[in-house]
Amino acid sequence: MKLLALDTSSEGCSAALLINGSLTERFALAPRGHTRLLMPMIRELLAEQGLAPAELDALAFARGPGSFTGLRIATGVVQGLAWGLEVPVVPVSSLAAVALSAMETLNVAEGDGLAIAFDARMGEVYWGCFQASEGLPRLLVPEQVCAPASVSLPSVITGSWYGAGQGWQLQDQMPQALVATMSRLDDTLVPRASHVARLASHELAAGGGVSAAEAQPVYVRDEVTWKKLPGR
C-alpha cells in the first residue's frame, strides 16, 4: 500500500508517505505558508522514495475541523490528484489525528479518554471526545463547536482523561471541574500528516475511502460571521 496524506488544517503544514508500513513525513509550522510549502513537500517525499504519483494507491487528508482556508487548500490538492490518478481518498478528522498523537505523547492507556480542543476563534473551540481503543482513538460523541464554558465530557469513560490541542490554551474559560479531571494536558499538539496517514490506513483496510468528488472538508461550524472593515 502506497498512501500519501496531507494536512493543512492548522498552523502546521505537512505531507506524509506511508509505504507498506514505513512512514516518512515533511512538517513545518507556517501559519501563512501552506500554499507555498505543500506541493514541494509532496514532490520531495515522492522523489525520496523514487515514486511517481501514478504509483500511489490512495490519498488521505485532514478534513477538519480547523482553519477554513487551510482545509480548502488540502482538499483542493487531494481532489486534483485523485481525479487524475483515479484512487480512493480517505478524509480523516483533524481532532482524531491529534488524539492519536496524544495517545503516544501522553502515554494514554487502553480505555482512557481524550478531550481534544482546537481554538475555533470567535470565542469558541472545536471539541471532540475520544476513547483509546485497540491503539486508535474512537469518537464517543459527535464533534462540535461551542464556547469553552460549554464543553463537557461523556460519562462512559471509567479510566483517566487526557487533554490535548491548542484549544486547551483557553482552559481558564472552561469549567474548572472539567479541567481538574485531566490527568495530563498538552496544549501544543497540532494535526500532522503522519497521524492522518496512520488513521487512513486503518480506514482503507476496513473498506473505507471515497471518490474525489466526495472528498469534502468538514467545517463543523455551519455559519461564519464576517466583520467588515471600515470603508469596505
The C-alpha cell that represents 147 in the structure block: 464556547
Same fold, 2-94+191-205 and 95-186: yes
Query: Facing residues of 59 across strands?
Result: 4, 89
**Is the four-CA dihedral 222, 227, 126, 14 of positive or negative sign?**
positive
The arrangement of secondary structure in 95-186, i.e. its CATH architecture, is 2-Layer Sandwich (3.30)
What is the rounded CA–CA span in Å between residue 153 and residue 156? 9
**Is the four-CA dihedral 165, 100, 36, 87 of positive or negative sign?**
negative
Residues 117 and 125: beta-carbon distance below 8 Å: yes
Per-residue pLDDT of the chain (232 residues; tens, 9 = 90+): 999 999 999 999 999 999 999 999 999 999 889 999 999 999 999 999 999 999 999 999 999 999 999 999 999 999 999 999 999 999 999 999 999 999 999 999 999 999 999 999 999 999 999 999 999 999 999 999 999 999 999 999 999 999 999 999 999 999 999 999 999 999 999 999 999 999 999 999 999 999 999 999 999 976 443 333 333 3
| 0.85 exceeded by pTM | yes
How distant is the alpha carbon of residue 18 from its chain centre?
Answer: 16
**What dotted CATH number matches 2-94+191-205?**
3.30.420.40
Integer distance in angstroms from the first to the last C-alpha of the chain? 50
What is the rounded CA–CA span in Å between residue 146 and residue 150? 6
What is the rounded CA–CA span in Å between residue 49 and residue 61? 20
Residue 226's pLDDT is 35
What is the rounded CA–CA span in Å between residue 217 and residue 232? 29
Neighbours of 144 (CB within 10 A): 18
Q: Nearest Cα to 198, choosing from 27, 31, 1? A: 1
User: What is the DSSP code string of the chain?
Assistant: -EEEEEE-SSSEEEEEEEETTEEEEEEEE-TT-HHHHHHHHHHHHHHHHT--GGG--EEEEEEESS-HHHHHHHHHHHHHHHHHHT--EEEEEHHHHHHHHHHHHTTPPTT-EEEEEEEEETTEEEEEEEEEETTEEEE-S--EEE-GGG----TT--S-EEEESGGGGGGGGS-HHHHHHEEEEETT----HHHHHHHHHHHHHTT--B-TTT-----S-------PPTT-
- List the domain boundaries for the chain: 2-94+191-205, 95-186
